[in-house]
């Protein structure tokens, strides 16, 4: 925020970007957003001076700025996603007394940056400084002032950070190229080095505000006022970094910029959307017709009234070239002022974006153990997991030899740029799962392979994804018995997007209710036993879990965010129920090793409210048994415990405990 700005001439504020872990990001859209679209109209953008959203990592909480009409006092509000809707915003617990703005949350959710005029060491302040808070079990710590050389006696605003902890911000400190310039301060051995002016061509004699820096520092969005190519009172620009030099900034054009003021540029955590704030609205053009007192008053008190609203659009609509085309937003932190943890590049995690949503599927398949081809219909519902790092597909197959359900689960490895794909056939819910097919997309075609044994002979399977459009796609499975020299197709699926039903229809609920207590969203406290030689030490971490039912209750899936001491990561638990044995099989996919072989599933069931599950495997080359127990289940809490036994169950050592508390 810039306290010297006098509306309506110019504006400056700031905000945030995290990473979330839901099948569909709460800010996401099931249809393309090709034009500027108001975000949270009526609730978050509701007729007040609203701007600068900052999402928590799970995407279910949003912090944003609500300003006084004269832009002299700023307050940070928070809204939460409940039952599919954003709640009425409330003043954030740390805000409301002093002028606060420009929230920025690290991707792991552990740190919260913002600017404020609150007192420093009991001394009143008239300029804006950058403050930081750490995440605690009950919320946020007391705000801590970020000392020089970042803060100065002038105004600082809009802090954003790179992966290595470098902080970018705006300031009107003396010695700049114009009234306000953009700066950065590098983190060296846990302390910030003196702030550097970004120099020309980024900073000019005009006013530059609000830098949004890419995690890898490859590009920069920023707001500026007074440049020769400006379309309004304040425009948004982008510049690319080449070594230590910046390219000539490019105006984002009239689809983003208006004759009002555009500010607070941001890319969504999943890299799909561009967010910004704008004062465009009814004050920029005449009404389509004469309005009476009631109608005009309603417009003055609604979004697009010319004060300020939050907008979003598909990032692809910016028609950017280079690294900004597909952006993995991944900032993380440890306790300040330690360097931020490096984040992986999730660019390839968008490969299966074309499949998100609902589909009608025509199957052309060889009958099992036959050379006869059969045709039948089915449906498919695809949802994103782990910020695009995984996705899950639920199929209904109306085969002539018996209708059944199935699940396809995919996980992306950013280190290799490959996907691993597993198929769970609902007719064989206890598995075992076939080895994952692995591969990638090139030139719009996805090719995936796996090797297996059939009747004692080595075989190879190949998946091909092709003919991909926004409304259709083709999948083909082929087999080879000669190491891939020749191939024979045995299954083809033709996908056509289902535009008639917003969601896949479901059959009557089955009698499977064992895991009903886990439905919904949870806060999870983890206790891990770390073993190093003879040293055994318990470590604690917090996280989240989101549980959803699949296949009419015969399967379910849980998505985890785990803020472990060794580094935050994501994971998925997949469960399938076998009505023949009345047992569940549970698989665990660790987001740190998405291409790794899955451990054997733990299998078992519930008795008198306690779920007990076992699996046999090896640890360090020695036989070991795993036991998982669910207990203390209530509508608002539950306990999970994992233990290992080196002696086939005679003795057990617990090594992981999760305590679930339902998220409000």
Give me the CATH number covering residue 549. Answer: 2.40.128.20
CATH of the domain at 144: 2.115.10.20
Structural domain includes residue 7: no
What region, left, alpha or beta, does residue 429 occupy, with left being phi > 0 and alpha being psi -120 to 50 degrees?
Answer: alpha
Query: What's the pLDDT score for residue 282?
Result: 65
Q: Which of 309, 343, 377 is the last residue of a domain?
A: 343
Q: Are residues 190 and 328 in the same domain?
A: yes
Short-list 511, 600, 503, 608, CA closest to 554: 511
Residue segments in the chain with a per-residue pLDDT below the cut of 50: 2-23, 322-331, 334-346, 502-511
Asked if 100 and 112 touch (Cβ cutoff 8 Å), the reply is: no
pLDDT value for 568:
86
Residues 6+ apart with CB under 8 A from 457: 481
Ordered alpha helix ranges (H), 301-397? none
Q: Are 127 and 3 in contact (CB under 8 A)?
A: yes
Provide the domain count of the chain.
3
Same domain, 633 and 540: yes
Identify the pLDDT of residue 476. Answer: 95
| Domain extent at residue 524 | 516-662
Q: What is the pLDDT of residue 551?
A: 77
Q: Which of 313, 343, 373 is the last residue of a domain?
A: 343
372 in any annotated domain: yes
pLDDT in tens, 473-505: 999 999 999 988 999 999 999 999 887 754 433
Does 474 reside within a domain?
yes
406, part of any domain: yes
Residue 58 lies in a domain: yes
Where is the domain boundary, 343, 362, 378?
343
Check whether residue 320 and residue 364 sit in a common domain. Answer: no
Q: Are 379 and 323 in a shared domain? A: no
**Alpha carbon separation from 590 to 28, 411, 571 (Å, rounded):** 25, 9, 5
Asked if 564 and 417 sit in the same domain, the reply is no
Is residue 23 domain-resident? Answer: no
Same domain, 80 and 114: yes
- Name the nearest CA neighbour of 435 among 595, 570, 593: 595
Within 10 A of 469 (CB to CB), how many other CB atoms are there? 11
Is residue 610 domain-shared with residue 470, that is, in the same domain?
no
> Are 355 and 298 members of one domain?
no
353 and 440 in a single domain? The answer is yes
In this structure, the answer to whether residues 453 and 575 fall within a common structural domain is no
Query: Which pTM value belongs to this model?
Result: 0.51
Position 2 in a domain? no
Run of H or E including 297: helix 293-300
Q: What is the pLDDT of residue 501?
A: 52
Distance CA 616, CA 645 (A): 10
Residues 520 and 428 in one domain: no
Task: Please indicate, yes or no, if residue 79 is contained in any of the structural domains.
Answer: yes
Looking at the structure, do residues 112 and 257 belong to the same domain, yes or no? yes
Tell the residue number behind the tokens 């219909």, with chain if given: 377
């Amino acid at each position: 925020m810039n306290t010297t700005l006098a509306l309506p001439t110019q504006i400056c504020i700031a905000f945030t970007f995290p990473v979330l872990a839901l099948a569909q990001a709460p800010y996401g859209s099931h249809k393309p957003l090709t034009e500027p679209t108001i975000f949270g109209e009526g609730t978050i953008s509701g007729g007040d001076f609203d701007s600068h959203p900052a999402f928590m990592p799970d995407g279910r909480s949003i912090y944003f700025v609500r300003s006084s009409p004269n832009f002299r006092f700023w307050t940070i509000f928070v809204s939460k996603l409940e039952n599919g809707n954003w709640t009425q915003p409330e003043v954030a617990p740390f805000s409301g007394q002093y002028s606060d703005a420009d929230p920025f949350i690290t991707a792991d959710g552990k740190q919260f940056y913002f600017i404020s005029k609150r007192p420093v060491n009991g001394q009143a302040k008239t300029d804006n400084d950058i403050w930081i808070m750490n995440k605690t079990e009950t919320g946020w710590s007391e705000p801590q002032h970020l000392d020089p050389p970042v803060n100065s006696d002038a105004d600082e605003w809009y802090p954003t950070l790179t992966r290595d902890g470098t902080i970018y911000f705006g300031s009107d400190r003396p010695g700049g190229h114009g009234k306000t310039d953009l700066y950065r301060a590098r983190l060296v051995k846990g302390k910030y080095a003196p702030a550097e002016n970004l120099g020309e061509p980024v900073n000019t004699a005009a006013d530059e505000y609000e830098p949004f820096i890419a995690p890898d520092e490859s590009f920069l969005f920023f707001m500026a006022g007074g440049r020769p190519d400006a379309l309004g009172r304040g425009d948004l620009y982008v510049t690319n970094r080449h070594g230590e030099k910046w390219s000539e900034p490019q105006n984002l054009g009239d689809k983003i910029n208006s004759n009002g003021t555009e500010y607070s540029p941001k890319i969504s955590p999943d890299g799909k959307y561009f967010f910004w704030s704008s004062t465009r609205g009814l004050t920029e053009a005449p009404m389509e017709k004469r309005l009476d007192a009631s109608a005009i008053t309603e417009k003055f008190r609604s979004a697009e009234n010319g004060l300020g609203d939050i907008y979003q659009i598909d990032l692809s609509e910016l028609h950017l070239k280079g690294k900004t085309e597909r952006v993995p937003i991944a900032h993380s932190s440890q306790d300040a002022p330690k360097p931020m943890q490096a984040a992986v590049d999730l660019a390839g995690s968008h490969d299966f974006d074309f499949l998100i949503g609902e589909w009608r599927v025509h199957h052309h398949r060889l009958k099992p153990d036959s050379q006869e081809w059969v045709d039948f219909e089915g449906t498919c519902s695809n949802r994103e997991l782990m910020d695009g790092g995984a996705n899950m597909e639920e199929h209904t197959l109306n085969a002539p030899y018996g209708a059944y359900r199935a699940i396809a689960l995919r996980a992306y490895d950013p280190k290799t740029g490959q996907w691993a794909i597993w198929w769970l056939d609902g007719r064989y819910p206890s598995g075992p799962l076939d080895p994952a097919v692995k591969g990638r997309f090139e030139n719009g075609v996805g090719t995936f392979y796996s090797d297996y044994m059939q009747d004692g002979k080595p075989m190879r399977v190949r998946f091909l994804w092709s003919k991909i459009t926004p409304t259709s796609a083709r999948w083909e499975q082929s087999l080879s018995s000669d190491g891939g020299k020749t191939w024979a197709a045995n299954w083809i699926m033709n996908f056509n997007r289902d535009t008639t039903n917003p969601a896949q229809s479901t059959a009557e609920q089955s009698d499977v209710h064992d895991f009903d207590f886990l439905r919904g969203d949870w806060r999870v406290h983890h206790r891990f036993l770390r073993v190093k030689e003879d040293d055994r030490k318990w470590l604690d971490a917090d996280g989240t879990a989101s549980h959803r039912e699949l296949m009419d209750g015969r399967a379910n899936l849980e998505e985890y965010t785990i803020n472990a001491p060794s580094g935050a990561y994501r994971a998925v638990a997949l469960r399938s129920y076998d009505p023949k044995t009345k047992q569940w099989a549970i698989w665990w996919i660790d987001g740190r090793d998405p291409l790794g072989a899955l451990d054997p599933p733990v299998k078992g069931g519930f008795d008198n409210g306690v779920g007990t599950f076992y699996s046999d495997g090896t640890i360090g080359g020695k036989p070991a048994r795993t036991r998982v127990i669910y207990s203390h289940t209530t509508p608002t809490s539950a306990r999970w415990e994992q233990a290992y036994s080196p002696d086939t169950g005679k003795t057990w050592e617990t090594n992981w405990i999760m305590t679930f508390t339902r998220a409000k």
